[in-house]
Each structure stands twice: as C-alpha cells, then as structure tokens.
Structure 1
Amino acid sequence: MQPTWLSTLAWVSLAVGVVSFVIVLVDTYVYGHRQPARVMEIVWLVTVLYVGPVAVRLYWNWGRPESLAPPPQRDRPHRGTIVTQVSRCGAHCALGFVVAEVALYGFDLPRSALWIDYVGDYLMAVTIAVLFRLFEGPRRSLAQVWRALATVVKVELVTITAFEVALFAWLTLAHHMVFPEPHLRLDNPTFWFAGQIGLIAGFITAWPAASWQLGRGTSVTAR
C-alpha cells in the first residue's frame, strides 16, 4: 500500500492537471478561441493535462495568439514553433501512453515485461501522429495514409523518439527503484502521477530534438 502522503500528492497533481485542462477547454470552446488547425485544440488540451499550469502559460503565449490572428508560419517566432512541435509530439506520446497502457492492462501482463508496454506505447504514439496528419488533410485514402506516415517519419519521429526514451527511462526507474513494492497499477492514482512525471521529463527532453529538427528545416507544418 502506498503511503498516504504519496496518494495525496498524486491526487493533487492530477487535480491541477484537470483544472488546467478546464481552463483551456473553456477558453477554446466557450470563448471561441479555436485553433486554425483543429488538431492543435486536442494537442493543447492534452499538454495542459499532464504539464499543468506551465503548459497553460505556454498556451497563453503561443497557442491562443494563433486563434486570434493566425500568422503565416514564417512569421511565427522560433521559440513558438518549437513549443508547437514539442507539444504536438508530446500529445501523441501522452495519448499513446494512455491508450496502450489501458489496452495492455486487460491482458494482465507480468510487470517484469516492461518492454511490451514500451513497444505498445511507442507504436501507439506513432499511430496517433499519423492519424493526426491524416485528419488534417482534405481527403481520406490509402495514399494519404502513406503520405501522412512519411510526413511523421520526416518531421516528428526524432522528437517523438526523444520524448519516449525519457518517458521509458523514468518508468523503468519508477518500477525498479522509486515504487518497487507494491508495483503501480492503473487503478491507483500514483500510477498516473508517475506517468505525469515521465511525460514532463519527455517534454523537456524532446525540446532539443525539436530544435534540431527545426534547424534542418522540418517542422510540424510540413505536408
């Protein structure tokens, strides 16, 4: 059984994420600050859910202005482009983490087989990235699926991989050293708190990767 203070901290952290989520949700759909690219509305909502108030500030600085007066991509400040790149790739990884962990939980896999979780998380993150690209386009076809996959590989895969490596490193550390007994389960808030920490670590780690990709002339807007 986890100590009371840890469970309390987990609940508080999750609650802060939910409050941050509601703030951006209301600003987007009640006050009408819709994003030019609709998938970015999902991206910002997912980002604030695990990063919390810091991500709300990032949204206020770089996300909300896009809804007020969408500038040409070339006029966006370099830092704003990096924030968008990291947030987008982070949303893929966060959604991939949640979907894969919930799906694999039903198979009751041994907790020693962490690599199965990691493969599932990574593949799901890439799949979600492709789906985001696909639904941004005007048409849905097999050719568009391959084009979306090619764009993800060219534009986002390095950043996604950097994010996932940090996430997996933290989850391994948490499993073997931080929370060795009892092992965390999905029905325990501490599991999702640990996931938040890993996702934040991934967000920070992905920043240099995104900056490097932008330096090579690739960004989230590539088609």
Structure 2
Amino acid sequence: MPPTWLLVLSWAALAAGFVSFAIVVADTYLRGHRQPVRVMEIVWPVTVLYIGPAAVRLYWNWGRPEVFARRRHDGQVRRPRRGLVVTRVSRCGAHCALGFVIAEVALYALRPDPAHSTLWVDYAGDYLAAVAIAVLFRYADAPGRSVTKIWQALSTVVRIELVTITAFEVALFAWLTLAHHAVLSEPPLRADSPVFWFMGQLGLIAGFVAAWPTASWQLGRRARPAGQRGDRVRRW
C-alpha cells in the first residue's frame, strides 16, 4: 500500500482539480461566459481538472472570450500570440487527458488481471484515444453533417494538432514510466488507486509544459500576414 502521506497528497491534488473544474463550469454556464467555439467548453474544464488552480488563472487571462479577443482599429478581432498558444496547448491537452482517462479505465476494466499490465499497451491505447478524440472534436466543430467531414477532420488534426499531441504524450509516457519503475514500483500503480490518477495529473502537467514549445513553433510556422489572421483564430 502507498504511504499515507502520498495518499493524502493524491486526494488533495484530485480535490483541487475538481474544485477548479467547478469554478470554470460555473463561470461558463452560470455566469454566462459561453465560448464561441463550443468544444472549448469541454477543453477548459478538462484543462483545469488536471492542472488545478494554476489553469484557472490561465482560463481567467486567456480563456474567457471577452478577455481573449482584442479589437484592432479596423474592428476585426485579433488574438494575442500567447493566447493562441495557450488555446492550442489546452485543446491538445484536453484530447490527451480525455484519451488517458478513457483508455486507462477501459483497459483496467477489460484486463483479466489488472495487477499485470503492459505499459506499451496502455500507452498505445492512450495515444489512439487522444487522436480519436481530436478528430471527434474537429468533426463536431465543423458545420453540417457529411461523410467528407470525417476526412476533413482527420486531415485537420494531422496538419495542425498531431505534432503537439505527440509531444504531449511523449512527456506523459516518460513520466508514467518513471513513476511505474522508479517512484512507485511496489505496489504497482493501478487505475483503482488515487495515487495512479495523481501520477497521471503530474504526467499531464509535464505534457502541457512539453507541448508548449511545439505549439508555439507550429503557430509561428503557420502564421499568415496580419490581415489574414482573424479568420483562422476560431479554428484554433
């Protein structure tokens, strides 16, 4: 059994995430700060759920629509570069966090002996689930309903998000491997323990930090002239 101090710390970190989640949900739905892109109403609560109070500050500074958008003299909406990077990383991080939770719970439920897990199977499931959720979000974001939308959503994820998702997942998997083999090799980490989810939180935070340079580089690489940026902001 993990030491008592670690169990207490794990529960405290999880509780901080849920309180942060409640703050953002209340601000969105009770105070009326709705997002122009509806999937961001999933992205921000998920982001604060695994990062905690620090992500609430990010949301307050860059996530609320009225403080994110700044109007230029010609009346067009322009979003600061830092805000675009925060949005990109948060969105990719939400894909990875949801993929991690869904895949780990499913694998734990389906595995005959949860005590004997194979990390590479878990990691493959986490990564594939993250990419699938990214495609689903892009599909839901686009207008209309058609078969071609699936290909368009997949193409958009590959062009815009896949590199950032991969950087995020590599950092997450590196931390989880360290946690499994060095930090808490005995008893093994399992999805029915708060310590497992606390370690997952730390890994997701590491992924957020690792994905930031990649998202910033991609954003700079794909930047258009100033007059053409306004129509791209919504898609990010």
TM-score grouping bracket, smaller chain normalisation: over 0.9
Aligned partner of 2:49 in structure 1 is 49
SS at match of 1:106: helix
Return closer, same or farther for 1:215/1:191 CA change in 2, 3 Å cut-off.
same
Q: How far apart are residue 52 of structure 1 and its match?
A: 0.5
What residue in structure 2 maps to residue 165 of structure 1? Answer: 170
How far 1:139 sits from its partner (Å)?
Answer: 1.5
* Number of the residue aligned with 2:141: 136
Question: Which deviations, in whole Å up to 9, do the C-alpha atoms of 1:16-38 show, x marking residues without a partner?
Answer: 00110011011000000000001
- In 1, the alpha carbon distance for the partners of 2:66 and 2:36 equals 6
Are the equivalent residues in 1 in contact too, given 2:62–2:68 (CA < 8 A)? no
Distance 1:74 1:31, change over 3 A: closer
CA distance in 1, matches of 2:25, 2:165: 25
Partner of 1:155: 160
Cα displacement string for residues 192-220 of structure 1 (whole angstroms, at most 9, x for unaligned residues): 00000000000000000000110111677
Change (3 A) 1:156 1:76: same
> Does residue 33 in structure 1 map to residue 69 in structure 2?
no
Partner of 1:17: 17
Contact between 1:35 and 1:67, CA under 8 Å: does it hold in 2?
A: no
Relative to structure 1, the CA distance from residue 199 to residue 160 in structure 2 (aligned partners, 3 Å threshold; closer, same or farther) is same
C-alpha distance in 1, partners of 2:90/2:68? 20
* Structure 1 counterpart of 2:105, one-letter code: V
CA–CA distance in 2 between the matches of 1:112 and 1:22?
33
Displacement of 1:140: 2.1
Matched, 1:188 2:229: no
| Contact persistence 1:85–1:220 (CA under 8 A) | no
- Partner residue of 2:7? 7
In the alignment, is the contact (CA less than 8 A) between 2:168 and 2:207 conserved in 1? yes
Shift of the alpha carbon at 1:143? 0.6
- Counterpart selection for 2:183 from 160, 178, 186: 178
The residue number in structure 1 matching 2:96 is 93
Alignment partner, residue 127 of structure 2: 122
Normalised to the residue count of structure 2, the TM-score between the two structures is 0.89
1: CA distance, partners of 2:136 / 2:48: 21
CA spacing shift, 1:143–1:32, aligned 2, 3 Å:
same
Distance in structure 2 (CA, Å) of the matches to 1:69 and 1:125: 26
Rg larger for:
2
**Aligned ranges for residues 203-222 of structure 1 at < 5 Å?**
203-217=208-222, 221-222=234-235
**Distance of 1:122 and 1:140 partners within structure 2:** 26
Is 2:56 the partner of 1:60? no
Report the Cα offset of residue 107 of structure 1: 2.3
Structure 1 gaps, min length 5 = none
**1:138-170 deviation per Cα after TM superposition (whole angstroms, max 9, x unaligned):** 122221000000000000000000000000000
Q: CA RMSD in A?
A: 1.9
Out of 105, 124, 128, the position equivalent to 1:102 is 105
Identity of aligned residues (%): 67
What secondary structure sits across from 2:189 in the alignment? coil
Aligned 8 A contact 2:89 2:211 in 1: yes
Aligned partner of residue 222 in structure 2, secondary structure:
coil
Amino acid at match of 2:200: G
CA contact (8 A) 1:156 1:220 kept: no
Residue 116 of structure 1: how far off its partner (Å): 0.5
